[in-house]
Chain A
């Protein structure tokens, strides 16, 4: 199970949010007391208890409405900036394991949290004052060694979420981009173990 990837085809995402719930279920994350703030999006942000969150993007262009859904989570960068920064303080506080997962270890408690927070270009990790730990998508690294896909992928009914060897996932993504044609793009790029196909590059501004 080396160099695996999660590939997310957002043209197939319906925002059923099974992945969001499956993440909480597998990782036993608590529900948050939310409010409706004039949106279907909830919880309002990634948090210690929420590692994967669907964002709803409404657009109105040339008299046509569009509505797309983006599962926001750790990109599992390869190489990860957070590890690069962490390594300058404590070796092994952030590791990139063979499956491709970016994982935080107990050693991260010894690093100034602001250093980690500012290291992530995507504003993903969330700091927990109580435990002095960071929390984010773990790539379900406790499932992968057993041959199980990440919980979110398992729960996806539409084929929006896919998991497999990175080379295969990249090929699927490239094929899908060709099929969707026009403005479809790979996001954030190839040097990641979690990547997305966006059906319209205009969406880059909204992510």
Chain B
């Protein structure tokens, strides 16, 4: 989230799209209601009428996979009706920037942007990537970007945007999305009203936007809307991702994903063999003196991270050589890992706090892939479909060689530490009870594993022992053998914050060796400071553990609660907040000011940098400090699949053609289904009469993730005991399916038994003149807790049985062009009566 949960209460219009917060983020509704009590409009856009829809003022249905058409239409509506916040767009975004005249929009280039490298087949362009040379700004001889503040130049971003979305008329959008015009237009009207300077609108999105082959572009489309309406940086504004786990924000911040190190630093590539090359490639340069270009500090953060990993004895350049490097062209995301496993190129797997046999798209492939493993370590609270994959449906244990180890671990309440919520709040929590039996905290398991591996390297050497042998491991009290007695979460939190490694005088102030660094402004690129994550530097200082603060006062009156816990960065509660004020530092919305320039200082939230407001000239800085431009990107050349979002059909679509483009699907996808006829594990069925219905997946409030925790909790299992498929009344009648009947849902990749819930809440769509039916399935189930499976003598039986297996048996293993998140929110199925 750019903002935070409580801030929802400040909004004038809340758009819940690609999410169902009332059900899946129930506490958020408390703050949404406060906004509604103040007069805010609540909008729900969803393929089916959800519990959020039930509470919304406006509900608009849309066919899964057509969000960009819907949002593109809103962009057009805002531009055509001059509803954008002109001063904000002109001063705070790249709308006036002139773009390379060689750049071509999709409409003038066969459905793709200029620079495409790939092949054209009978289904359009495939397997491609873009050469982004033409996706660039025009610059003068000194490297300064050419701009047209009148926004009239035909090559300026604003005019290109207008041209690109001119095709997205309400009529066309309605045809593509299936949203009736009388439901579409009120949404555009209501949301566009937040373009008034003193109004703000916010979006709450979740996996309903990300799990698409155009997932990143869905969010980009909304970013463009928020910039046009001047909603970024504002109280009650922003772009707000609702995280699906209590600490998904924290784990992402700390480098869970393969392409980033902690603090969103970049994972080194094989071509960057020395530290200087890596730093140069990672540090952006700006020729604009008014751009803070915050990432120019990259070398300070990377040096401090290397210090935290390897300590002060290893010179930075040497420490860098110890980091793993990625092959330049390779990708190490989930789908790729399981594809490699399927191809027998990986022999061991640590499945840690997860359940891939149920959680991964195309579960049949995932489960089959696991049979290639020599060993599998399952670290979890309970045995699950992953640890027991070898005795799952269709498996013959006699033929499976995998040795499985189960390591029971502690649940969150059985260990101390911090969680970072969607709103970037790092909140400390305490241990409520000891873990049962042999269960231990993940950190302790990991520490023992590390110490054991280090011992082996010490004894036996190996190909490249230094990364292990030189790693600093000082996170708890040490025993004589070098093993840690246990991990101390406070030591970890302090290491994440970082230390001065030498006595240092900065800005005339003395900082002593061994003290905690008070803020990332003081991190150094010379190796004199350490920090496990620069974004969290300031969270645990000599003044104490900021995350443990529990001050309930709110002098801000907009719900910042700045003395409660701690928020990255630097306890800033609303990021990009310099965009919430005009050039003189006066809030656009005086009733809900985030920051304000008052008597030559900023007051309110922690501002995005200390510089004075823009009217002070060169001493000031543009508001979007993390971007080299300093300005919000309406033209976003950073993405793999286009600087403007374009509607492409999902990989599996009910349509034969893309109504908006000659190009059918996103051309920049990594495709698995093009391997040839012999490949039975990567099947795709688009516009195929065997699979006529669009299907989507969603969560239940009663279950969590793959249900490993909740299916074993009797009070929750009794509430939602079975895999179901929600079917509209019209379709159910056509298929002769009655409510409560067990049916088969089938995709090109697998089949699933489910109980039919026949409902008025799912109405058919009219798309391009054709009736399209959509159905939906939850994802939390798995065979391990069913009554029908074989229970061996030692197998624990659940107190309450559930019915059905994971919906990932149906989902496609195709990922977004930027993130590789699977397209689990939109694929084609058939629904039939159980024979």
Q: How far is the CB of B648 from chain A (nearest CB, A)?
A: 31
Confirm or deny: B317 has a beta carbon within 8 angstroms of a beta carbon on chain A: no
The answer to whether A14 and B722 touch across the interface, beta carbons within 8 angstroms, is: no
The answer to whether B718 and A42 touch across the interface, beta carbons within 8 angstroms, is: yes
The answer to whether A31 and B717 touch across the interface, beta carbons within 8 angstroms, is: yes
Pick from A17, A35, A40, A60 the residue with the most CB of B within 10 Å. Answer: A40
The answer to whether A43 and B29 touch across the interface, beta carbons within 8 angstroms, is: no
Confirm or deny: A181 has a beta carbon within 8 angstroms of a beta carbon on chain B: no
Chain B residue numbers with a CB within 8 Å of A20 are 719
For the complex, what is the distance from the CA of A17 to the CA of B719, rounded to whole Å?
9
Given A14-B22, A14-B23, the answer on whether A58 and B760 have CB atoms closer than 8 Å is yes
The answer to whether B29 and A38 touch across the interface, beta carbons within 8 angstroms, is: no
Quick one: closest B residue to A65, CB to CB? B49
Quick one: closest A residue to B37, CB to CB? A179
Residue from B29, B702, B760 in contact with A14 in the complex, judged by beta carbons closer than 8 Å: B29
Given A36-B757, A38-B739, A40-B757, the answer on whether A25 and B715 have CB atoms closer than 8 Å is yes
The answer to whether B51 and A15 touch across the interface, beta carbons within 8 angstroms, is: yes
Q: How far is the CB of A44 from chain B (nearest CB, A)?
A: 10
For the complex, what is the distance from the CA of A111 to the CA of B635, rounded to whole Å?
78
The answer to whether A157 and B721 touch across the interface, beta carbons within 8 angstroms, is: no
The answer to whether A157 and B26 touch across the interface, beta carbons within 8 angstroms, is: yes
> What mask results when residues 60 to 78 of chain A are scored 1 for a CB within 8 Å of chain B, else 0?
1000011110000000000
For the complex, what is the distance from the CA of A18 to the CA of B758, rounded to whole Å?
25
Q: Which residues in window 21-49 of A have CB below 8 A to B?
A: 21, 24-25, 30-40, 42-43
Confirm or deny: A158 has a beta carbon within 8 angstroms of a beta carbon on chain B: yes
The A interface is mostly helix, strand or loop, or mixed, namely: loop
For the complex, what is the distance from the CA of A20 to the CA of B53, rounded to whole Å?
23
Stretch among B132-140, B170-178, B355-363, B798-806 lining the A interface? B798-806
The answer to whether B761 and A58 touch across the interface, beta carbons within 8 angstroms, is: yes
Q: How far is the CB of A160 from chain B (nearest CB, A)?
A: 10
Confirm or deny: B832 has a beta carbon within 8 angstroms of a beta carbon on chain A: no
Confirm or deny: A92 has a beta carbon within 8 angstroms of a beta carbon on chain B: no
Confirm or deny: B834 has a beta carbon within 8 angstroms of a beta carbon on chain A: no
Confirm or deny: A16 has a beta carbon within 8 angstroms of a beta carbon on chain B: yes
The answer to whether A159 and B721 touch across the interface, beta carbons within 8 angstroms, is: no
Residue from A16, A38, A65, A66 in contact with B701 in the complex, judged by beta carbons closer than 8 Å: A16
For the complex, what is the distance from the CA of A165 to the CA of B4, rounded to whole Å?
35
For the complex, what is the distance from the CA of A157 to the CA of B716, rounded to whole Å?
18
Chain B residue numbers with a CB within 8 Å of A14 are 22-23, 26, 29, 51, 55
Chain A residue numbers with a CB within 8 Å of B721 are 33-36, 42
Chain A residue numbers with a CB within 8 Å of B739 are 38-39
The answer to whether B719 and A157 touch across the interface, beta carbons within 8 angstroms, is: no
Confirm or deny: B101 has a beta carbon within 8 angstroms of a beta carbon on chain A: no
For the complex, what is the distance from the CA of A33 to the CA of B785, rounded to whole Å?
13
Chain B residue numbers with a CB within 8 Å of A42 are 718-721
For the complex, what is the distance from the CA of A32 to the CA of B702, rounded to whole Å?
15
Confirm or deny: A12 has a beta carbon within 8 angstroms of a beta carbon on chain B: yes
Confirm or deny: B759 has a beta carbon within 8 angstroms of a beta carbon on chain A: yes
The answer to whether B800 and A34 touch across the interface, beta carbons within 8 angstroms, is: yes
The answer to whether A34 and B701 touch across the interface, beta carbons within 8 angstroms, is: no
Chain A residue numbers with a CB within 8 Å of B33 are 12, 158-159
For the complex, what is the distance from the CA of A58 to the CA of B799, rounded to whole Å?
31
Residue from A24, A33, A58 in contact with B715 in the complex, judged by beta carbons closer than 8 Å: A24
Given A42-B719, A67-B51, A158-B26, the answer on whether A35 and B803 have CB atoms closer than 8 Å is yes
Chain B residue numbers with a CB within 8 Å of A65 are 49, 53, 59, 760-761
Q: Which residues in window 4-38 of B have CB below 8 A to A?
A: 22-23, 26-27, 29-30, 33
Q: Which residues in window 712-740 of B have CB below 8 A to A?
A: 714-722, 724, 738-740
Q: Which residues in window 49-90 of B have CB below 8 A to A?
A: 49, 51, 53-55, 59
The answer to whether A31 and B756 touch across the interface, beta carbons within 8 angstroms, is: no
Quick one: closest B residue to A12, CB to CB? B33
The answer to whether A17 and B718 touch across the interface, beta carbons within 8 angstroms, is: no
For the complex, what is the distance from the CA of A37 to the CA of B738, rounded to whole Å?
11
For the complex, what is the distance from the CA of A17 to the CA of B23, rounded to whole Å?
10
For the complex, what is the distance from the CA of A15 to the CA of B722, rounded to whole Å?
18
Chain B residue numbers with a CB within 8 Å of A30 are 714
Confirm or deny: B755 has a beta carbon within 8 angstroms of a beta carbon on chain A: yes
The answer to whether A67 and B54 touch across the interface, beta carbons within 8 angstroms, is: yes
Residue from B27, B54, B724 in contact with A36 in the complex, judged by beta carbons closer than 8 Å: B724
Quick one: closest A residue to B754, CB to CB? A36
Chain A residue numbers with a CB within 8 Å of B741 are 38
> What mask results when residues 85 to 102 of chain A are scored 1 for a CB within 8 Å of chain B, else 0?
000000000000000000
For the complex, what is the distance from the CA of A30 to the CA of B715, rounded to whole Å?
8
The answer to whether A17 and B740 touch across the interface, beta carbons within 8 angstroms, is: no
Chain A residue numbers with a CB within 8 Å of B701 are 16-17
Q: Which residues in window 460-502 of B have CB below 8 A to A?
A: none
Chain A residue numbers with a CB within 8 Å of B800 are 31-34
For the complex, what is the distance from the CA of A31 to the CA of B738, rounded to whole Å?
27
Q: How far is the CB of B603 from chain A (nearest CB, A)?
A: 32
Given A17-B702, A30-B714, A158-B29, the answer on whether A35 and B757 have CB atoms closer than 8 Å is no
Given A58-B760, A67-B51, A68-B54, the answer on whether A40 and B715 have CB atoms closer than 8 Å is no
Pick from A12, A35, A65, A157 the residue with the most CB of B within 10 Å. Answer: A65
Chain A residue numbers with a CB within 8 Å of B717 are 31
For the complex, what is the distance from the CA of A39 to the CA of B719, rounded to whole Å?
10
> What mask results when residues 142 to 173 of chain A are scored 1 for a CB within 8 Å of chain B, else 0?
00000000000000011100000000000000
Pick from A18, A67, A159 the residue with the most CB of B within 10 Å. Answer: A67
Q: How far is the CB of B28 from chain A (nearest CB, A)?
A: 10
Quick one: closest B residue to A17, CB to CB? B719
Chain B residue numbers with a CB within 8 Å of A35 are 721-722, 755, 803
The answer to whether A31 and B757 touch across the interface, beta carbons within 8 angstroms, is: no
Chain B residue numbers with a CB within 8 Å of A24 are 715
Chain B residue numbers with a CB within 8 Å of A67 are 49, 51, 53-54, 761
Q: How far is the CB of A47 from chain B (nearest CB, A)?
A: 11
Residue from A18, A31, A32, A36 in contact with B755 in the complex, judged by beta carbons closer than 8 Å: A36
The answer to whether B718 and A33 touch across the interface, beta carbons within 8 angstroms, is: yes
The answer to whether A31 and B714 touch across the interface, beta carbons within 8 angstroms, is: yes
The answer to whether A16 and B720 touch across the interface, beta carbons within 8 angstroms, is: no
The answer to whether B803 and A36 touch across the interface, beta carbons within 8 angstroms, is: yes
The answer to whether B758 and A38 touch across the interface, beta carbons within 8 angstroms, is: yes
For the complex, what is the distance from the CA of A67 to the CA of B803, rounded to whole Å?
26
Q: How far is the CB of A79 from chain B (nearest CB, A)?
A: 34
Chain A residue numbers with a CB within 8 Å of B714 are 30-31
Q: Could you pull out 16 A-B pairs where Cβ atoms are within 8 angstroms?
A: A14-B22, A17-B701, A17-B719, A31-B714, A31-B715, A31-B799, A32-B718, A33-B801, A36-B724, A37-B740, A39-B740, A39-B757, A40-B757, A58-B761, A65-B59, A68-B54
Given A36-B721, A60-B760; 19 other pairs, CB 8 A cutoff: A14-B55, A17-B702, A17-B719, A21-B719, A24-B715, A25-B715, A31-B715, A35-B722, A35-B755, A36-B720, A36-B740, A36-B755, A38-B758, A39-B739, A42-B718, A58-B759, A65-B49, A158-B26, A159-B30
Q: What residues of chain A have their CB less than 8 Å away from a CB belonging to chain B?
A: 12, 14-18, 20-21, 24-25, 30-40, 42-43, 58, 60, 65-68, 157-159
